[in-house]
């Protein structure tokens, strides 16, 4: 009788773990479906250049196939292409200063640019980027990333932390960006607001 009770309790625990896993999976599927639906709506709203005869049928077919991919599949495709084509990760924000540094302004042009830069409006939205972390606090940083990015699981948060620098949030108000930065710094991360 004790063995039967033990077997029933073991089965109950297995079922509850499976149900919890299904709930997590359902959440991921719902996020992927909403992303896919939004991508499909955008794809329908944007005219395809191939329809006007600008692209070859092969390219049009590839574009159509990519538009049907889920978020996870797009991520896998991106990584596969980067590996196949030997392309490194280059942050877009870092490319803009490099381009402007390549062509320095001289004389009157530099003087005219200085007042224009001073008159630029204050930045209202920010990008939060995790650039590094204290190795002793890796687990804390991963957990904090999981709390900030609620649509990812711990494995994805760990992968994100291991491949730094990473943009965590884009185009968010300064107040939210400061809160995220404070939480990550408290956990042992180094964060840059752009």
pLDDT digits (tens, 9 = 90+) for 130-189: 888 888 888 888 888 888 888 888 888 888 888 888 888 888 888 888 888 898 888 888
The H-or-E segment that residue 18 falls in is: helix 2-45
Gap between the Cα atoms of 190 and 165, Å rounded = 10
List pLDDT tens digits, range 64-118: 888 888 877 877 888 887 788 777 765 544 444 544 554 454 444 445 455 545 5
**Residue 149: closest CA among 44, 28, 57, 49:** 28
Gap between the Cα atoms of 174 and 124, Å rounded = 7
CA angle 136, 76, 78 (to 5 degrees): 100
The H-or-E segment that residue 79 falls in is: helix 71-84
Q: What is the model's pLDDT at position 157? A: 85
The pair of structure tokens assigned to 31 is: 């996020």
| Peptide bond preceding 165 in cis form (omega within 30 of 0) | yes
In this prediction the pTM is 0.39
């Amino acid at each position: 009788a004790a063995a039967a009770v033990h077997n029933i309790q073991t089965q109950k625990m297995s079922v509850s773990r499976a149900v919890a896993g299904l709930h997590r999976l359902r959440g991921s599927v719902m996020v992927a479906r909403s992303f896919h639906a939004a991508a499909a709506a955008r794809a329908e709203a944007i005219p395809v250049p191939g329809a006007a005869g600008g692209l070859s049928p092969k390219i049009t077919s590839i574009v159509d196939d990519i538009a049907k991919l889920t978020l996870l599949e797009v991520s896998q495709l991106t990584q596969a292409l980067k590996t196949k084509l030997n392309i490194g990760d280059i942050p877009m924000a870092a490319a803009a200063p490099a381009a402007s540094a390549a062509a320095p302004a001289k004389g009157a042009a530099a003087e005219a640019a200085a007042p224009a830069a001073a008159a630029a409006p204050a930045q209202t939205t920010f990008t939060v980027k995790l650039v590094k972390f204290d190795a002793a606090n890796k687990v804390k940083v991963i957990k904090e990333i999981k709390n900030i990015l609620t649509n990812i699981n711990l494995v994805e948060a760990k992968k994100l932390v291991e491949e730094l620098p990473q943009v965590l949030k884009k185009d968010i108000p300064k107040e939210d960006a400061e809160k995220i930065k404070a939480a990550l710094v408290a956990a042992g991360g180094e964060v840059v607001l752009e």
